[in-house]
Chains A and B, each alone.
Chain A
Amino acid sequence: MLIIISVIAIATTIIFGIVAIVYSLREEKAIKQLVDNELKQKQRLFEITMMKEIQDRIGYSLEIGKVVDVIVESLDALVSYSTVSSLVLQDNLLKFTVHVKDPVSKQYIETIKTAMFQSYLAIEANTMQLPEDENIMGAALDDLNHATPSSFFHVPLIVNDRVVSILTVASTKQNNFTEAEMTTLYKIAAQASEALSRLENILTLEEGKLMAMIGSLVDGLFMVDPNGQLTIINDAAKDFLGIPKDNPSTIDLLSALPNSYDFSNKIQRAINHKRVIEEKEVTLGEKIFQIFITPVFDVNVTTEKKVIGVSVLLHDITLEKSVAKMKEDFTNVMVHELRSPLTAIKASSELIINPPGPLTEEEKNKILTLIAGQARRMLDEVALILDAAKLEAGLFTIQKIPGDLKHLIAERAQIFQAAAHEKFINIIVDIDPSLPLFNFDPIHIGQVVNNLISNSLKFTSSGGTIKISAKPAIGSVIVAVSDTGAGIPKEKQHLLFTKFTQLSGADHGSVGTGLGLYIVKGVVEAHGGTVNLESEEGRGTTISFTLPIDNAKAVTAPTGQHPALISAAKPQRLTN
C-alpha cells in the first residue's frame, strides 16, 4: 500500500514538474515573442520617425549632408556606438565628418576613415582622393585609448546610381550591433536614397524646363553666385556679349563687359542691399541695353532672406532708342519742311500787301502762284502725316474704283521726266499692254508710284537709270521701280519700311519726313498686296509691289478719259 502511495506521489510530482516546465517554457517563449515584437515595433517606429524627419528636413533640397545629419542625430535611439562617421560627396570632393561618443584615439578615426574610403572606391572605382580634412565633433579624443573599431558597418547612400555618401557606425566593443539594428539602418538609407533619387529626377526635369524657358528668352539672362561665378547663361546673353557658346567661363563674361561698367561692384551692391539695381542705358558694343541686376533668394530659407546669387537681365533697347532718335529727327525735319514754305508764303504775301513799288498783274499772279504752290506743298506734307497716323491707328482706308494702272504709271513717270533730265538720269517705262483694268485706289496708288520714283531719283547718281515696269501675274499685277543707285546696306534694309526712316543717298541735300515707304507699305497692304525689296550696295535697288486684281471682269474702261486720269490726285511731293 505504502509502495502504491509512493509511486502515485512520485508520478504526481513528475507530472506537475513536467507541466510546470511546459508552462515555464511557454511563458519564456511568450516573453521572448513579446520582446521581439516590441523590438520590431521600436525599429519600425524608428524607421518611420527617421523618414519623416528626413522628408521634413530636406524639403526640396538635395543636400545630402542634411539627410546624414538626421540619421546621425537620431542614431542613439537605435543603437549604442562609439563613433558615427560620414563621407559625403560635395562639389566633387569627399568631406569626412565624425561624431565621437566614446573618447577614442586619432588612430581609431584614421582606421575608420580609410575603411570608409575603401568602401567608397569599391563601389565607384573612380580617382577620388582621400579627404585630408576631418571634421571631428562630440567627445574629446584620447590618444591613450588604444581601443580599435572592433565592430563597424558602412551604409552607402546611393542616389540615381551614384554613391553620394557612406555612413559608418562603429564601436570599440566586439559584435556590438545586431543584424536587426543594422538592417533597420540599411532600410532607412534605402528609403532615403529612393526619396532623394525621386527628388533629383523631379528637380532635373524642372531644371530642364527652366533652362528651356530661359534659353527661349529674347532678352539676355545670366546668373552668378555670391562669389561672382557664372552659373547660368542663355544663348541671347552669349550673343549680346559675344562670348563662346560652349561652356563660357566667368572670365569670358567679365572680359565681355566694359571695365567702366564695374560689374562686380554692382553685383555686391545687389547682394548687400538685397534689392534690384536697374541700369537704364548701357552700351555694349553696337547695342544699347537696359540692365536689371536682381538678387536671387533661397526659397528654402523662410526666416531670413538669404541671397544665393544674382540674375542679370539684358534687355536690348537699341531699336527703341533708334526709333526715339528717328522721332526726334522727324520733328526737326518737319519743322524744316513746314518752315520753308511758310517763310516763302509770308514773304510773298507781304510783298503783295506792302509792295516796294507798283506790281504788274503778271508779277502779282507769279507771287500768288508761288504762294499756292507752297501751300499745296504744306498740305501734301500734312496729308502724309495724317495717313501715317491713320495707318498706325488702324484707321487708314482706301477708296477702290475701277481704274487703269497703265495710264496712271505712265502719267507719273512723265511727271518725273523733267527732274530726271536735269540730273541726267534716264527713265525707262516698261508696261505690259495686257495689264487689265481693275479696282484700286488711284489717289493712294498714285502716291505709292510717286514715292518710289521720287526715292529712286534721290538715290541715283547722274548717268544712272530708273526703270518702271508693270506686268500681270496670276490674280495680280506686279509693279516694280528699279534704279542703278547707291543701294541699301543689308543691316538697314529691315528699317526701310518703318516710320521715320531716312537713308542717306546720292542726293545729300534732300531731306524728307521718312514716312514715304511706311505709307507705301500701308497702302499696298490695304489693297491686299505685298511690298518686296531687293537691294545691293553699289548696284541699285528694286522695290516692287503687287496688287490683287479686284473685280477685274466687271471693270470696263469708261469712254473718254480713263478713271485714273480723272481721279488721280495731282503729283504729290512724296520724298523720304
Chain B
Amino acid sequence: MYQKLLNDAIHKQVTILGRHIVLMKVRNVLGLTISDDGTVLAISGKPEDVVTRFIEEFRELSSPLVKKTMQPLLSSLSPIQPSAVPENSGNQNISKSETQTNQKL
C-alpha cells in the first residue's frame, strides 16, 4: 500500500515540480530506494516513518503544496500512529519532526 502511495505521489510531484528536483528530494528520504525514473524499488524500516520523512522533505519546499497534493499520503498517517515514532534514540530528531509535520499540516 505504502509503495503504491509513494509511487503515485512521486509521479504527481514530477508533473508538478519537475523531474530533477523531485528525484533529488526523494533520494534524500532515508529508507527509500528509487530507480532513475522515480519508481520506488524498496522501502526499508517502518513504511510510516519513510512516508513521514518523504512528506517532510517536500514540506520544506512548500507546505501548502503538500496539503493540496499529498492527501492520500497524509491520510495514511492520520491519526498519528504510535508506531510512526521511531523507538531508537538515534532518530529522536526525526520523530519530533514527524509529529510536527502532522500537526502543521
Q: List residues of chain A with CB under 8 Å of any chain B CB.
A: 115, 118-119, 122-123, 151-156, 158, 161, 163, 168, 175, 177, 179, 182-183, 186, 189-190, 193
16 CB-based A-B contacts, threshold 8 Å: A118-B15, A119-B16, A122-B12, A122-B69, A123-B16, A123-B68, A154-B16, A156-B17, A156-B65, A158-B64, A158-B65, A161-B68, A168-B18, A177-B21, A183-B60, A186-B62
Q: Which residues of B contact A153 (CB under 8 A)?
A: 17-18, 20-21
Given A119-B15, A122-B12, A123-B69: A152 touches B20 (CB 8 Å cut-off): yes
- Chain A residue with Cβ nearest B23: A179
B1 at the A interface (CB under 8 A): no
Instruction: Kindly list chain A residues whose C-beta atoms are within 8 Å of the C-beta of B12.
Output: 122
List residues of chain A with CB within 8 A of the CB of B68.
123, 158, 161, 163
Kindly state whether residue B41 has any CB partner on chain A within 8 Å: no
B30 interface residue per 8 A CB criterion: no
Inter-chain contacts of B69 with A (CB < 8 A): 122-123
Q: Does B102 reach chain A (CB closer than 8 Å)?
A: no
Contact with A along B17-38 (1 / 0, CB 8 A): 1101100110000000000000
CB-based contact A190/B20 at 8 Å: no
Please determine whether A156 and B16 come into contact, CB atoms closer than 8 angstroms: yes
Task: Please give, as numbers and ranges, the residues of chain A lying within 8 Å of B21 by CB-CB distance.
Answer: 153, 177, 179, 182, 186
B28 to chain A, nearest CB (A): 8
User: Which residues does chain B contribute within 8 Å of A183, judged by CB atoms?
Assistant: 60-61
B63 at the interface (CB under 8 A from A): yes
Distance of A194 Cα from B54 Cα, bound (Å): 22
Across the two chains, which residue of chain B brings its CB closest to A179?
A: B24
Smallest Cβ-Cβ distance to B25: which chain A residue: A179
Q: With contacts A152-B20, A153-B20 known, is A123 near B65, CB below 8 A?
A: yes
Residues of B within 8 A of A163 (CB): 68
Residue among B25, B64, B65, B68 with most chain A CB within 10 A: B64
- CB contacts under 8 Å to A, within B42-61, are 60-61
For the complex with contacts A154-B18, A158-B68, 9 further pairs of A-B residues with Cβ separation under 8 Å are: A118-B15, A122-B16, A123-B69, A151-B20, A154-B17, A156-B65, A158-B65, A193-B62, A193-B64
Chain B: residues with Cβ within 8 Å of the partner, total of: 18
Query: Measured between alpha carbons, how far is A155 from B60 in the docked complex, in Å?
Result: 13
Q: Is the CB of B18 within 8 A of A152?
A: yes
- Count how many pairs of residues, one from A and one from B, have CB atoms less than 8 Å apart in the complex: 60
Residues of B within 8 A of A154 (CB): 16-18
How many angstroms between the C-alpha atoms of A404 and B46 in the bound complex? Answer: 101
A152 to B21, CA, bound (A): 8
| A201 CB to nearest chain B CB (Å) | 14
Check if B15 sits within 8 Å of A190, measured CB to CB. Answer: no
Report chain A residues within 8 Å CB of B24.
179, 182
* Contact with B20, one of A156, A158, A175, A186 (Cβ below 8 angstroms): A175
Residues of chain A within 8 A of B18, CB atoms compared: 115, 119, 152-154, 168
6 A-B pairs closest in CB distance: A153-B18, A158-B64, A186-B61, A122-B15, A153-B21, A179-B24
Contacts of B17 in A (CB 8 A): 119, 153-156
**Cβ–Cβ contact B16 & A190, under 8 A:** no
Establish whether residues A161 and B16, one from each chain, have CB atoms under 8 Å apart when the complex forms.
no
Give chain B residues whose Cβ lies under 8 Å from the Cβ of A186.
21, 60-62
A152-B62 Cα distance, complex, nearest whole Å: 17
Contacts of A161 in B (CB 8 A): 64, 67-68
How far does the Cβ of B29 sit from chain A's closest Cβ, in whole Å? 13
Q: Which B residue's beta carbon lies closest to that of A124?
A: B68
- In chain A, what residue has the closest Cβ to B20? A151
Give bound CA distance, A205 to B61, whole Å.
29
Question: Shortest beta-carbon distance, A158 to chain B, in Å?
Answer: 4
Select which of A119, A122, A158 is within 8 A of B62 by beta carbon.
A158
A110 → B minimal CB distance (Å): 17
Taken together as a complex, chains A and B put the C-alpha atoms of A163 and B62 apart, in Å, by: 12
Return B49 CB to nearest CB of chain A, in Å. Answer: 22
Specify which chain A residues have a CB less than 8 angstroms from the CB of B20 in the assembled complex.
151-153, 175, 177, 182
A150's closest neighbor in chain B, by CB?
B20
User: Complex: how many Å from CA A156 to CA B15?
Assistant: 12
In the complex formed, the residue of B with least CB distance to A169 is: B18
Residues in B with CB closer than 8 Å to A190 are 61-64
Q: Complex formed: what's the CA distance from A151 to B19 in Å?
A: 8
Q: Give Cα A155 to B17, complex, Å.
A: 6
| B18 to A: closest C-beta gap in Å | 4
Report A-chain residues with C-beta under 8 Å of the C-beta of B15: 118-119, 122
Contacts A119-B15, A119-B16 given; indicate if A156 touches B60 (C-beta within 8 A).
Answer: no
Q: Mark B53-94, 1 if CB is under 8 A from A, else 0.
A: 000000011111101110000000000000000000000000
- Neighbouring A residues of B61 by C-beta, 8 Å: 183, 186, 190
A123 to B17, CA, bound (A): 10
Report the minimal beta-carbon distance from A9 to chain B, rounded to whole angstroms: 48
| Min CB gap B13→A, angstroms | 9
Q: Write out the residue numbers on chain B whose beta carbons fall within 8 Å of the beta carbon of A158.
A: 62, 64-65, 68
The smallest beta-carbon distance between A528 and chain B, in angstroms, is: 66
* A172 CB, nearest partner CB in chain B, Å: 14
In the complex, A526 Cα to B12 Cα: how many Å?
A: 81
CB neighbours of B60 from chain A (8 A): 183, 186
Question: How far does the alpha carbon of A115 sit from the alpha carbon of B12 in the complex, in Å?
Answer: 13
Give every chain B residue within 8 A of A189 (Cβ-Cβ): 62
- In the bound complex, how far is the Cα of B25 from the Cα of A499, in angstroms? 83
- Chain B residue nearest in CB terms to A149: B18
Most chain-A CB neighbours within 10 Å: which of B60, B62, B63? B62
Residues of B within 8 A of A156 (CB): 16-17, 62, 65
